């Protein structure tokens, strides 16, 4: 009988095929006493060695298929696999308790997994997933079972799994794995990110696909609306085939706009640029017709390692982005660490309210050596392209002035050392704290540009933690209070002849776009795959009409009324 399972739309598109369950093999880890601990340790070492070999192959494959940044996860896995902090306690346990290696490994790994999972931090939770993935591989060798991997699939299927580990996802072959759906995971989990870069439709976080779908059942994965249709009727199959065709058609239409400027039907021009996290993302920006980079989140350079990146390492990353973007603008945001993003090697004290705490520019202005190193790397890279620098989490003009002063000092030092630095670097700020939006008229006199960070601006305006699902209903980009703040920032920029962009999720939101066009936003920065749909949407809008629409929205009282208003125009 047909039924539908709801989940999170993780990667767009529609896939229709038979289900292939990626089973989690039963790995027997029961405690057994052993008589020869030395040979048990040797058996453990052998399993580690074989796993090392396998992971190296997977990493090289991922490197070739998915690019260096996606393959980096396997270098991280190799580090886990060879980490004495994991291996030594296992060996000690085998020797001191005379227990089998499977049991010892499972005990030690579970302790680390629990520790990382209990941290209120997405990044650390992903580390728990890494340990689980690596442990499963070693356990399979110890137990002597072959774990089913996507690499063994040779017909067109939809993969059904509790979760896809990074190594599973890296082995997906687009020819056969038409789509996948999982019980757990969110939009930012590894598997979701990889699905988007492979362009495989995916629905994650369904909680129940493995419980409800049998091998060989016909399944539709609707990565557009986050639904999985199990055992569809002929009628449903026809409907979804039509939806799939329409989506493919739409993609072709969007592709035609790749090298076109972004203009409304009455000739108003805006910039559509992309948010990136690593130099490898540049390819996606160019493939999707991005006119620049509106937000380069540099914190990824600092994450997933155990010490600070050197000036040289940073310089190489910035130079690579600038060179590959050519003349197109690249807005680099200085380090925004703290809040939900932690660096283990920074040893920050635990805070009651990390989102309101010691983070981003606050930390950089306090620990200036970290800041200076980044600014020097940026200044040195500036001659390789069109660099703009912005500071995150600016609350007061003093902070902006202080940050800019450090930048100028570093520039002067470099010039004195005869290092070439561009003279045309625009220096701007993120507007993500209500105080800076309200005082935008004053800031506008001193900055070269604004970039509105609505992810944080909304959380601070609504006093609702963006990581807390129970208050997620307060994430209201269309609330007139937010629209009024956005208008204040854009108007302030206009008055001083500066430009205002937006790099929060709201900029790529199809309901917000008509309003933002109406408010006169100059630059929209979004994930690369949203650029062409946004360009296509804007070409159908009239700026003059959107101005009237925005004016009406500003005088409304609730977000729901605003949504209704916007929907009434299409
Ligand atoms: C924002 O706050 O809107 C933003 C773009 O920054 P981040 O999501 O990195 O905090
Ligand atoms: Mg932010």
pLDDT per residue as tens digits for the range 45-71:
999 999 998 888 888 877 777 677 667
Query: Which structural domain, as residue segments, surrounds residue 439?
Result: 266-567
pLDDT at 442: 98
Does residue 444 carry a pLDDT above 70?
yes
419 & 372 share domain: yes
The verdict on whether residue 432 carries a ligand-binding annotation is: yes
Indicate if ligand 1 lies below 6 Å from the C-beta of 451. Answer: no
Measured CA to CA, the distance from residue 503 to residue 122 in angstroms comes to: 21
Residue 452 Cα to ligand 2 middle (Å): 9
364 & 506 share domain: yes
Output phi, psi for 148, to 5 deg.
-70, 130
Looking at the DSSP bridge assignments, the partners of residue 341 are 338
Tell me which DSSP letter residue 213 carries: -
Indicate if ligand 1 lies below 6 Å from the C-beta of 432. Answer: yes
Among 124, 143, 162, where does a domain finish? 143
Task: Summarize pLDDT for 159-200 with one digit per residue, the tens.
Answer: 999 888 767 777 777 788 999 999 988 776 777 777 877 789
CATH number at residue 107: 1.10.274.10
Q: Whose CA is nearest to atom 9 of ligand 1?
A: 297
Task: Summarize pLDDT for 105-118 with one digit per residue, the tens.
Answer: 999 998 888 887 77
17 & 45 share domain: no
pLDDT at 341: 74
224 & 366 share domain: no
Task: Summarize pLDDT for 531-553 with one digit per residue, the tens.
Answer: 999 999 999 999 999 999 999 99
14 & 115 share domain: no
Which tokens hold the place of 95? 């020797």
- Number of independent structural domains in the chain: 3
Residue 458 Cα to ligand 2 middle (Å): 10
Q: Which are the contacts of 88, defined by CB distance < 8 A and separation ≥ 6?
A: none
Which tokens hold the place of 39? 């040979």
Residue 310 Cα to ligand 1 middle (Å): 24
Is there a domain that residue 260 lies in? no
Which tokens hold the place of 230? 């199990």
Is there a domain that residue 459 lies in? yes
Annotated catalytic residues are 190, 503
Per-residue pLDDT averaged across 123-129, rounded?
A: 72
461 & 431 share domain: yes
Of 485, 493, 554, 492, nearest to 518 by C-alpha is: 554
CATH number at residue 398: 3.20.20.60
Among 94, 121, 143, where does a domain finish? 143
Instruction: Please name the residue that has the structure tokens 């690593």.
Output: 278
pLDDT at 165: 77
The verdict on whether residue 545 carries a ligand-binding annotation is: no
The whole model's pTM is what? 0.74
Among 143, 159, 186, where does a domain finish? 143
Measured CA to CA, the distance from residue 162 to residue 133 in angstroms comes to: 13
């Amino acid at each position: 009988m047909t039924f539908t399972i709801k989940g999170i739309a993780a990667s767009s598109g529609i896939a229709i095929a038979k289900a292939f369950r990626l089973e989690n093999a039963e790995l027997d880890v029961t405690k057994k006493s052993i008589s020869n601990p030395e040979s048990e340790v040797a058996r453990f070492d052998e399993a580690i060695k074989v796993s090392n070999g396998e992971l190296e192959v997977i990493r090289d494959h991922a490197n070739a298929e998915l690019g260096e940044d996606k393959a980096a996860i396997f270098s991280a896995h190799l580090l886990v696999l060879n980490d004495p902090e994991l291996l030594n306690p296992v060996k000690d346990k085998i020797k001191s308790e005379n227990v089998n290696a499977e049991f010892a490994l499972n005990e030690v790994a579970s302790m680390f997994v629990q520790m990382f999972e209990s941290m209120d931090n997405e990044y650390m939770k992903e580390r728990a997933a890494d340990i689980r993935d690596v442990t499963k591989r070693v356990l399979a060798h110890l137990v002597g079972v072959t774990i089913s991997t996507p690499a063994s699939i040779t017909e067109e299927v939809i993969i059904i799994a509790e979760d896809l580990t990074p190594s599973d996802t890296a082995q997906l072959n687009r020819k056969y794995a038409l789509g996948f759906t999982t019980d757990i995971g969110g939009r930012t989990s590894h598997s979701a990110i990889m699905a988007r870069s492979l362009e495989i439709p995916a629905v994650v976080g369904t909680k129940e696909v493995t419980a409800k779908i049998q091998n060989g059942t016909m399944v539709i994965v609707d990565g557009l609306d986050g639904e999985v249709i199990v055992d569809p009727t002929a009628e449903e199959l026809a409907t979804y085939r039509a939806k799939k065709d329409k989506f493919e058609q739409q993609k072709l239409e969007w592709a035609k706009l790749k090298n076109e400027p972004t203009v409304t039907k009455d000739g108003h021009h805006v910039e559509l640029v992309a948010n990136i996290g690593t130099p490898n993302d540049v390819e996606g920006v160019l493939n999707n017709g991005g006119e620049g980079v509106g937000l380069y989140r540099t914190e990824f350079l600092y994450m997933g390692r155990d010490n600070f990146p050197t000036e040289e390492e940073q310089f190489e990353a910035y130079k690579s982005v600038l060179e590959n973007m050519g003349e197109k603008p690249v807005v680099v945001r200085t380090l925004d660490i703290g809040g939900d993003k932690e660096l283990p090697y920074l040893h920050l004290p635990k805070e009651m309210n990390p989102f309101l705490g010691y983070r981003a520019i606050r930390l950089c202005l306090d620990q200036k050596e970290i800041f200076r190193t980044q600014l020097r790397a940026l200044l040195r890279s500036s001659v390789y392209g069109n660099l703009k620098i912005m500071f995150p989490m600016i609350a007061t003009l003093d902070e902006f002035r202080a940050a800019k002063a450090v930048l100028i000092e570093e520039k002067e030092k470099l010039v004195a050392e005869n290092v070439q630095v561009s003279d045309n670097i625009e220096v701007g700020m993120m507007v993500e704290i209500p105080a800076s939006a309200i005082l935008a008229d004053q800031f506008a006199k001193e900055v070269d540009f604004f970039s509105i960070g609505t992810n944080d601006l909304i959380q601070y305006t609504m006093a609702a933690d963006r990581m807390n699902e129970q208050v997620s209903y307060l994430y209201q980009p269309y609330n007139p209070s937010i629209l009024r703040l956005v208008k204040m920032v854009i108007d302030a920029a206009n008055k001083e002849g500066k430009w205002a962009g937006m790099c929060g999720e709201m900029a790529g939101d199809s309901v917000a776009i008509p309003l933002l066009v109406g408010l006169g936003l100059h630059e929209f920065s979004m994930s690369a795959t949203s650029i062409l749909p946004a360009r296509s949407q804007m070409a159908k809008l009239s700026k003059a009409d959107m101005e009237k629409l925005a004016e009406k929205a500003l005088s409304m009282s609730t977000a729901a009324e605003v949504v209704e208003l916007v929907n009434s125009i299409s």
